[in-house]
Amino acid sequence: MELFLMAAGTIAMGVLGCVVWFWGSNLVLDSIYPPRGRNAGDNIRRANMIRPWLFVGPAVLFLGVYLVYPVIDSFWRSLHNADGSRFVGAGNYLWALGDDKFRESIWNNLLWLLVVPALSTVFGLLAAQLTDRIRWGNIGKSLIFMPMAISFVGAGVIWKLIYEFRESGETQIGLLNWIVTRLGGEPQIWLTLIPWNNFFLMIVLVWIQTGFAMVILSAALRGIPEETIEAAILDGASPWQLFFKIKVPQIMGSIAVVWTTITIVVLKVFDIVFVMTNGQWGTQVLANLMYDWMFRGSPDYGRGSAIAIVLMIVVTPIMVWNIYNARKEAG
Amino acid sequence: MEGMAGKKSSLTWAVHISAFLLVVLWTIPTLGLFVSSFRDRDQISSSGWWASFSASEQTGYARTGTDDDARQVDGLYVIEGSVTEGDQKLSAWGTGAREPGKYQPGETVEIEDGWQLTVSEDGSYRLTSEKPFGMRRGERIFTTTAVPPDFTIGNYHRVLTAEGLGRAFMNTLTVTIPATVIPILIAAFAAYALAWMRFPGRALLTAGVVGLLVVPLQVSLIPLLQMHNAIGIGKGYMGIWLAHTAFGLPLAVYLLRNYMIGLPREVIESARVDGASDFQIFRRIVLPLSFPALASFAIFQFLWVWNDLLVATVFLGNTREQLVMTGVLRELMGSKGGEWEILATSAFISIAVPLIVFFSMQRYLVRGLLAGSVKGG
């Protein structure tokens, strides 16, 4: 109850604070530069120069303090030793290059980057194409899209149940091992099965992200002008040709969007590895490795920050590409 | 012509079947969790969840009565009774642990010198002998009974009270709601300025917001935690609200700006001509018209905050009273890895609210996704 009061209080305070700031500051501005009287013209001009900053001020402050400053601070920390007391230059980065776990993480991250966006896009495209053509397609779409709403941790539990292992001869309660034993195979502890366990983790993210890919690509497919499709059919294109030669090239832009967005998700992937294997058995990834260095045992902020900065550097090309596209679109 | 039609219908069938398979494949994992959350521990460990809809076979044993229960009927010593409880039906029985299902119900078997045993389908047995039995303990009868599908909500009761998930649910709610509401307001004003006000630096700010969309949160954890400690917020709700507000802002500003810039120019220009100030235009025209975009973002932020583990782990304390649901779930996965009835139920409770939000507001979510992904060239 107390908790609820606090939460309600915070909402009230937050909303009130916003209202007071935006309304009050505008009021103050209008009273300093009243839009009437002898200097009305000048006043309006001056007020209009200041007002945008009242509007964007809080957002800029938040973004600056909570996102821009930490990047700079992390970079600074990455040049220092564990507790930040001594400058070590590129030492942490050199350490990373020689560290087995770091190299394993980079390698695994690359694997994730290849597999997850590719599979999600392919399945998403397949789902979009299939469900767009049938009457119960919308229900189907909803169900494929549903994992989007499930947390990575929840998905971790869901898939661990599927990968559950019982000794050979016992009743298998994990779906995968049940199928395998039914087909005459031996049950496996999938999550410790190097190197395939990486793929069993990736499947979880593919399962979650396919819905996203499907939604974007389905909209793109519908956006293809009817005439081009009709023309292709009249010219005798087979369904396969129609799909791969006419439709796919026209939605390349959307495929790129899906691919880059999922790439970002993949680079940040943390929860799935964290709760399912915690990076053991050769499944470490950068984000989880960083968490290990920052919060486990005796923290090493220098090394942790260096890994974070590596993550940041990998993301940067996509950031630039996004900005470029957004600006191009704005004209 | 006919061939074409036939081909077309077989293609339609192929589409239907493939789509169905895909949907099933995507639904089954969640279904498994859902079904498992209604089964008790014994059921979960004795059979897969997919077997829970059909009757399962259960073997057990019971003992017959002893000499004390014997009656004399027509010169025979007879012991009678039942080996099942209630109205269970026997599908097989036996007298040895090695072959507990050796005999059919109704069969009469000589189990020892002169002892005749009959067990019928309803579980009643009749043991006869020409001489006194002379046994101290009853004879064992192994039974195979069919247990009808059985589901329980006991797991939910246990998880919500004893495992502390009820408390975690409240914590999650406490984190989520302010962290969803506050960024909307801040972002709406900023988005309006970026969309409809002219000022130097506007293009740069917009580009900055797009850039910040992809910054990995991980980068900011340590600096922010130290900053919170330095200014006295420490670990707690205030810190996590601020953090989530900030982390949600890039998407909020970006989504809302894209939406607002698409509003009809004439409406806003004519309001300006009529002497409305920017503040009035924002409040009276732009804000109400932007409702769909606001709803889209609210859903995103709600799902994201509700499902988050990393930010909560770092910015909230890690004692049992402070954990959010994802945190509890993670802890349970470590400490109760094999107790699927607890895990499945907890997981389902934690994903129930997002699923409800998802299914009831899907329209806005889709709209937001379409507007929020940077459109490629």
CATH of the domain at A252: 1.10.3720.10
Percent of chain A with pLDDT over 90: 11
Q: Which among B186, B189, B218 is the nearest to A308, CB-wise?
A: B218
Using CA atoms, how far apart are residues B155 and A182, in angstroms rounded to an integer?
Answer: 30
pLDDT score of B2 more than 50: no
- Please report, for residues A112, A217, A278, A304, B94, the alpha-carbon distance to residue A287 in angstroms, rounded to integers and kept in the order given: 12, 29, 11, 10, 59
- List chain A residues with CB under 8 Å of B194: 56
Using CA atoms, how far apart are residues A117 and B293, in angstroms rounded to an integer?
Answer: 27
Percent of chain B with pLDDT over 70: 95
Using CA atoms, how far apart are residues B120 and B93, in angstroms rounded to an integer?
Answer: 9
Using CA atoms, how far apart are residues B294 and B115, in angstroms rounded to an integer?
Answer: 82
- The answer to whether residues A175 and B33 touch, using CB atoms and an 8 Å cutoff, is no
> Does some domain include residue A258?
yes
- List chain A residues with CB under 8 Å of B346: 157
| Residue B240 in tokens | 């996590």
pLDDT (tens digit per residue) in B11-22: 788 888 888 898
User: With bands split at pLDDT 50, 70 and 90, how would you rate the model's confidence at B376?
Assistant: very low
Q: Which helix (H) or strand (E) holds B224?
A: helix B221-230
**CA B277: distance to chain centroid?**
49
A120 and A33 in a common domain: no
A30 and A107 in a common domain: no
∠ CA(A287), CA(A289), CA(A292), 5° rounding? 115
A254 and A305 in a common domain: yes
User: With bands split at pLDDT 50, 70 and 90, how would you rate the model's confidence at B87?
Assistant: low
pLDDT at res. B296 = 87
Query: Is B210 in Cβ contact with A322 (below 8 Å)?
Result: yes
- The answer to whether residues A228 and A250 touch, using CB atoms and an 8 Å cutoff, is yes
Query: Is B193 in Cβ contact with A55 (below 8 Å)?
Result: yes
A275 and A144 in a common domain: yes
CB-based contact (8 Å) between A242 and chain B?
A: no
Q: Which residue's entry shows tokens 């709610």?
A: B173
> Does some domain include residue A168?
no
CB-based contact (8 Å) between A180 and chain B?
A: no
Using CA atoms, how far apart are residues A170 and A173, in angstroms rounded to an integer?
Answer: 9
- Each domain of chain B, given as residue ranges in start order, spans 56-147, 157-372
**CA B48: distance to chain centroid?**
17
Using CA atoms, how far apart are residues B297 and B305, in angstroms rounded to an integer?
Answer: 12
pLDDT (tens digit per residue) in B333-352: 877 767 888 888 888 888 99
pLDDT (tens digit per residue) in A163-182: 888 877 777 888 888 888 88
A125 and A16 in a common domain: no
Distance spanning both ends of chain B, measured CA to CA: 41
Size of chain A, expressed as the number of residues it contains? 331
pLDDT at res. A92 = 85
User: With bands split at pLDDT 50, 70 and 90, how would you rate the model's confidence at B8?
Assistant: low
pLDDT at res. A205 = 93
pLDDT at res. A123 = 93
Interface of B with A in 329-368 (CB under 8 A): 329-330, 333, 340, 343-344, 346-347, 350-351, 354-355, 357-359, 362, 365-366
> Does some domain include residue A321?
yes
pLDDT at res. A208 = 92
> Does some domain include residue A201?
yes
Map chain A to HEC letters.
CHHHHHHHHHHHHHHHHHHHHHHHHHHHHHHHCCCCCCCHHHHHHHHHHHHHHHHHHHHHHHHHHHHHHHHHHHHHHHCECCCCCCECCCHHHHHHHHCHHHHHHHHHHHHHHHHHHHHHHHHHHHHHHHHCCCCCHHHHHHHHHHHHHCCHHHHHHHHHHHHCCCCCCCCCCCHHHHHHHHCCCCCCCHHHCCCCHHHHHHHHHHHHHHHHHHHHHHHHHHCCCHHHHHHHHHCCCCHHHHHHHHHHHHCHHHHHHHHHHHHHHHHCCCHHHHHHCCCCCCCCCHHHHHHHHHHCCCCCHHHHHHHHHHHHHHHHHHHHHHHHHHHHHHC
Question: Which of B345, B346, B309, B306 lies closest to B329, judged by CA?
Answer: B346
pLDDT (tens digit per residue) in B236-262: 888 888 899 999 899 889 888 888 888
Taking only Cα atoms into account, the Rg of chain B, rounded to an integer number of angstroms, comes to: 34
pLDDT score of A10 more than 60: yes
C-beta neighbour count of A236 within 10 angstroms? 7
Question: Which of A103, A160, A111 lies closest to A289, judged by CA?
Answer: A103
pLDDT score of A207 more than 90: yes
pLDDT at res. B3 = 42
Rounded mean pLDDT, B88-115: 78
Interface of B with A in 211-250 (CB under 8 A): 211-224, 227, 237-238, 241-243, 245-247, 249-250
B363 to chain A: nearest residue by CA? Answer: A142
**Across chain A, what does the average pLDDT equal?**
85
Range of the domain at A47: 2-78
- The domain defined by B157-372 folds into MetI-like fold (1.10.3720)
Query: Is B333 in Cβ contact with A216 (below 8 Å)?
Result: no
CB-based contact (8 Å) between A124 and chain B?
A: no
- The answer to whether residues A187 and A167 touch, using CB atoms and an 8 Å cutoff, is yes
Q: Which of A10-14, A35-39, B161-165 has the lowest mean pLDDT?
A: A35-39
Using CA atoms, how far apart are residues B55 and B216, in angstroms rounded to an integer?
Answer: 50
> Does some domain include residue A280?
yes
Taking only Cα atoms into account, the Rg of chain A, rounded to an integer number of angstroms, comes to: 26
pLDDT at res. B201 = 85
B323 contact partners, CB below 8 Å, separation of at least 6: B164, B168, B171, B312, B316, B331
CB-based contact (8 Å) between A147 and chain B?
A: yes
Q: How far is B156 from chain A (nearest CA, A)?
A: 16
Q: Which among A48, A151, A274 is the nearest to B351, CB-wise?
A: A151
Q: How far is B34 from chain A (nearest CA, A)?
A: 9
Cis peptide before B183 (omega within 30 of 0): no
Please say which residue of A17, A43, A78 terminates a domain. A78
Question: Which of B156, B159, B165 lies closest to B326, judged by CA?
Answer: B165
pLDDT at res. B146 = 74
- The answer to whether residues B21 and A133 touch, using CB atoms and an 8 Å cutoff, is no
Using CA atoms, how far apart are residues B319 and B342, in angstroms rounded to an integer?
Answer: 20
Number of structural domains in chain A = 2
Rounded mean pLDDT, B70-76: 80
A139 contact partners, CB below 8 Å, separation of at least 6: none
Using CA atoms, how far apart are residues A188 and A264, in angstroms rounded to an integer?
Answer: 32
Q: Would you state the torsion angle of the CA atoms of residues A22, A23, A28, A30, taken in this order, to the nearest 10 degrees?
A: 110
> Does some domain include residue A283?
yes
> Does some domain include residue A243?
yes
Query: Is B246 in Cβ contact with A62 (below 8 Å)?
Result: yes
| Residue B324 in tokens | 């959010």
A207 and A307 in a common domain: yes
- Please report, for residues A125, A153, A266, B145, the alpha-carbon distance to residue A149 in angstroms, rounded to integers and kept in the order given: 20, 12, 17, 42
pLDDT (tens digit per residue) in B189-210: 899 988 888 888 888 888 888 8
A114 and A53 in a common domain: no
Q: Which among B15, B218, B246 is the nearest to A311, CB-wise?
A: B218
User: With bands split at pLDDT 50, 70 and 90, how would you rate the model's confidence at A9?
Assistant: confident
Using CA atoms, how far apart are residues B177 and A11, in angstroms rounded to an integer?
Answer: 8
Query: Is B48 in Cβ contact with A171 (below 8 Å)?
Result: yes
A103 and A6 in a common domain: no
pLDDT score of A5 more than 80: no
CB-based contact (8 Å) between A238 and chain B?
A: no
C-beta neighbour count of A167 within 10 angstroms? 7
| Residue B30 in tokens | 């969640």
A109 and A42 in a common domain: no
pLDDT score of B145 more than 60: yes
∠ CA(B181), CA(B185), CA(B186), 5° rounding? 115
- List chain B residues with CB under 8 Å of A48: 197, 278
Rounded mean pLDDT, B227-243: 85
- The answer to whether residues B217 and B247 touch, using CB atoms and an 8 Å cutoff, is yes
pLDDT at res. A33 = 79
Using CA atoms, how far apart are residues A193 and A163, in angstroms rounded to an integer?
Answer: 11
Query: Is A142 in Cβ contact with B190 (below 8 Å)?
Result: no
